[in-house]
Structures are given as C-alpha cells and as structure tokens.
Amino acid sequence: MSVEEKTKDRERRSVSVRNFNISSLLHYLFLFVSVIKTIPSFTIASDDNLKKESDMDVDLQRSLSLRLNRRGDRSNQNLAKDFEEGFFSSGRIPQDYPMKIVWKKGFIRLVLVVGILWMLLILLALLFHIWSCQTSVSFLSAMCNKDSKVYTMLDTMGFVSKPHRCPIPVSNDPDKIVIPTGRTPNDIVKNLSYVMEDEIPHNGAQSSPLFGGHPNWKQREQSFKLNSNMKVHCGFIPGGGAEMDHIDIEYVKNCKFVVASGIFDGYDLPHQPSNISLRSKEVFCFLMVVDEVSLKFMRENGTVKEDGTGGKWVGIWRLVLLKHPPYDEPRRNGKVPKILTHRLFPQAQYSIWIDGKMELIVDPLLILERYLWRGKHTFAIAQHKHHRSIYEEADANKRRKRYARPLIDLHMKIYYYEGMMPWNSNKRTISDVPEGAVIIREHTAINNLFSCLWFNEVHLFTPRDQLSFGYVAYRLGDAFKFFMFPNCEYNSLFVLHPHTREHSSPIEWVKQLSELKNGNLKESRGGLGLFTPYPGDLHSVVLPNVTRTSKAG
C-alpha cells in the first residue's frame, strides 16, 4: 500500500472514531435525560416502578374523567365520597394522590424520628440515673435513689457497675455526735426469754447436752410465730460448752457499746483498729472472742499482755476466752460470738461485729450514727457483692467446698419446701444474702429474737450463716426491719487481711451422703436437723435453677 493510501486510511479511521465517540456520547446523554424525566418531582430517588405507577395514574385519571362525563352529578358525588375516604382507601385514586403519598411518607418518618428521640431521651435519663448513683459529687449522689425499682432492675441486668469501694457519708467529727438516750421501744416482742434446759432424746443418739439444745421441728415452727412473750432456744445450754472466765464476765458487765470480733482455731491474728477517736476509746469496749487454740497461737507470737486483774490484751483488744468449744467445726464455733453477741454481752445496748480478718478503719461512733441513728434503724448489714438469692449463694458454697455438698442441697430443699422463693425485684428486700462480716445492731427484743432464730438455723443445718439470714427474715416478715447498705461501703469500712492459713475440715470435701457414714467426717454436735427425719416430703422437691451471675468461687 502506497504512502498516500495509508494516509487516507488513517484519516478515515479517525473520522469513524470521532463519529463513534460523538454518537456514544449522544446516546448516553439521551438515556440520562430519559431517566431524569422518569424521576417525580416529589421524591429524591426513583426507579422504573415509580414511572409505571405514574403512567397508571394518568390512565386512571383519564378513565375517571370519561366516567364523570357519562355519569353526571351522581358520579361526582361518588368521587367526592371516595376522595373523603383518604389515601388509605383501596378505591379510586384522586388527582392529588401523589401529594398524599408525600404526606404519608413524611408522617411515617416523623413518627420514626420522634420514637428514636424518645428512646434516646429515656436512655440518657437511665445513664444519668446510674452515673448520679455512683459519682463522688455529693449533690448528685444525694439525688440517687438506690432503693428504686428502676435502679434494682438495672443492677439485676448488669448495667450498674459495682465499685469495690465508695465514699461513706459519715459525719466528720465523732465528738459532735449526739448519742440517743433510752432504748428503742419493743412494740411486738416485749419479753424474750431463753430455753436453758436441753431435752435430750431417749434414743441414745446424744448423751450430753448440746450448746444449741435439741429443738424439735414443732418447737422450731412455733418460734417463728410472734407473741408479746416468747421463749426460744438461743444457745448457751449449761454443759454445752463456750464458758467464759469469771474475770471476763465481770469486765463485760460495764460494756454498753461494744465492738466485737472473734478468732478461732488460730485462723487469724488481731488487727488493730485505726482512726479511733479518744471519745470512742472511752465509750466502746473492744472485745476479741477467742478459743484456747487461738490464745496459744497469739502467745507464741508474743502479742498478748496481761493487766493486774488477769485480763488479757492485744493492743486495744480485750481477749475474751471461750473454754470448751461447743462444736467440732471451727466455722460453726465462730458463729457463737458473731450471732449471739447479745447473749455473750447482755449489758450491751449497741454492738458492731467484725470478722477477725478485718481491720477497722472508721470510728465506731461514726458507724453507729451513719447506719443506725441517722435513718432510725436498729439493724444494719451489708449487701453481698455477687449474690441476692440464697440458692445462688448455696451454689457458690458448693463450688468453693465450704461444706458438704449434699448437706447444702438438703438445707436448701427444706427452705424451698417451706416457701422460700429465689430473690426477685418484687421482694421487699434488696437482697436475701448479706455480707456477714459486719453486723451493726441495737439489742432490741425483736433483734435479739432474730439473732436467736438465725443461730438456731446455723445450729440445726449448715454453718453457712449467709444461707439462713434471708430465710429467717422471710419468716419474720415486716416485723423485722433492717437496713442493708451497699457492698462498696462495707469495703470502705475495713481493710481485709489474709488468713494465717488455708482453712479445711474433712466435712467440706464430702460429695455423697454415703461418705458421712464414716464417723470421722460427720459432725457430732452440729447439723442436727440434717440428720433428723423431716416431717415433710422432700423427695419431690426440685431446687430452682441457678444462673451463675459471677465468677465468685
């Protein structure tokens, strides 16, 4: 091909390319304009379906106009009637139908937007409620109502974080606290006395008296029926153990305000309280109840000193020796001074119990003012950090091997059979499980009765007193009123110290009831009710399912 022919061929191709590009551009432009024409003026975006609907609207309008011309005034009236039926009607479509679609979609959007804003407003209110209950700003924290059902529901659902420590709204100066004069009147139980003779059964099962006696099921049931004059089992049966020295009996007669603690089986060492005012040192007796094993352990560590009268001291603590431990299980022995404080120290009007592992860091006068006198309470105890239902606590005790698993199950079956339901937000109390390491109380008749009945449950069943507290409160109902304060405040009252060693007893490892046939595993003086035939049918009792809400244990 010649040079001239090649040049003409290039020119011909260039023209065809230009024609193709122009024709393609015109083609796409025509399509774009066509699409734009199909988009209605009242919407942001559309598709082929809207175009078809528009064509159908035009056809319907034409058919309507023809029918109007034919039918006259009567048809006009029918059309007006159809128009009044609104855009929800499935009948004929009026000429302003597109505007009704716009209004309908706008109304739906308006409803959705208002609903979303309302939900956000509720969420912000709930978040503010939670924040105000946990803030350190006193003005905002005063607005919080932790007893409200909303807060309880949020706490149950896990939306409320539980701080380990939180500020305690105590007074600043112990010297300015006004101590109430007189005692809280006894309106329900006016005279409370105690069973002091043990009715030993004649079957030969127990030859010597028990510290808690041998109450039968009928006596137990009768003890929950309130009267103005009551006589109940309450430990300290003569010959059952836990005797005090004469010098200690004389010393505690002068103790009206008591801070009590206890150490058994050498499980802890005394920890000296701090931030104690001179006034509290003069008002309070600091009494540490110990057994002979613990006293020997303290003497070997060189911490015990004796005064001129023979009294034994470790720092501020006056040691009160209990001879002849009443139970085989050291944990059960520790419940004697903890629950029966009013029996050990009968002249005391107020008492604050703390476990032996705790170091008190708040002045006891401030504690009484905060938890009793300010709210006119007579009994205060901390809420458990993890559990609210006794069945949750029982499950945790089995996991941590705190007592024989089958005996814990038997204990819970008796309570469930007797009507003790798992905790829920409709109950009158914020929890059925306390943090029992601190108990603040005035020794009124109803509080003393509660303590006796609480101890009787510990004596009859398992030594896990947290399982029995909620049951006794349930049986006494509104007659027994108590203040259960947040767990974070409990942790701000004390410093927790580790035990001197890992506690363990053979019965804690029992997994089957058949293992208890061995006399070395079964307690000889505790858990009487677990081995006495129960009058009800427990074989059909199925314990409620437990949802483990924490990793405790």
Closest to 207 (Cα-Cα) out of 531, 525, 530: 525
Tokens of 494: 């004390």
pLDDT tens digits for the chain (553 residues)? 554 554 555 555 544 434 444 455 445 545 554 544 444 443 444 445 444 445 555 554 555 454 544 544 444 444 444 444 444 444 455 666 666 776 767 778 888 888 899 988 888 887 777 666 655 454 455 456 655 666 666 666 666 666 778 888 878 889 999 999 989 999 999 999 999 999 887 665 556 899 999 999 999 999 999 999 999 999 999 999 999 999 999 999 999 999 999 999 988 889 999 999 999 999 999 999 999 999 999 999 878 999 999 999 999 999 999 999 999 888 899 999 999 999 999 999 999 999 999 999 999 999 999 999 999 999 999 999 999 999 999 999 998 888 999 999 999 999 999 999 999 988 989 999 999 999 999 999 999 999 999 999 999 999 999 999 999 999 999 999 999 999 999 889 999 888 877 766 778 888 888 888 766 788 889 999 999 999 999 999 999 998 876 665 4
Q: What is the pLDDT of residue 106?
A: 77
CA distances from 450 to 390, 477, 481 (A): 18, 11, 10
Q: What is the pLDDT of residue 202?
A: 67
In order, the DSSP letters of 8-44 are: HHHHHHHHHHHHHHHHHHHHHHHHHHHHHHHS-TT-S
CB 467 within 8 A of CB 329: no
The backbone torsions φ and ψ at residue 548, rounded to the nearest 5 degrees and listed phi first, read -75, 105
CB 510 within 8 A of CB 404: yes
Q: What is the pLDDT of residue 445?
A: 97
Closest to 100 (Cα-Cα) out of 113, 112, 121, 82: 82
Tokens of 367: 């504690």
CB 341 within 8 A of CB 353: yes
DSSP E strands in 165-207: the ranges are 191-194
SS3 5: helix
Report if pTM > 0.75: no
Q: What is the pLDDT of residue 400?
A: 87
Q: Which helix (H) or strand (E) holds 229?
A: strand 229-232
Q: What is the pLDDT of residue 37?
A: 47
Tokens of 542: 């199925």
CA–CA separation, 519 vs 521, rounded Å?
5
CB 261 within 8 A of CB 354: yes
Closest to 407 (Cα-Cα) out of 523, 325, 502, 326: 523
| SS3 letters across 444-491 | CHHHHHHHHHHHHHHHHCCCCHHHHHHHHHHHHHHHCCCEEECHHHHH
Paired with 194 in beta bridges are: 232
Q: What is the pLDDT of residue 548?
A: 75
Q: What is the pLDDT of residue 102?
A: 66
Q: What is the pLDDT of residue 22?
A: 46
Reading phi first (left if > 0) and then psi (alpha if -120 to 50, else beta), residue 291 is in: beta
CA–CA separation, 364 vs 111, rounded Å?
58
Q: Whose structure tokens read 């393609």?
A: 24
DSSP label at 438?
A: E
Q: What is the pLDDT of residue 17?
A: 39
CA–CA separation, 207 vs 203, rounded Å?
9
CB 385 within 8 A of CB 435: yes
SS3 194: strand
SS3 323: strand
DSSP label at 314?
A: E
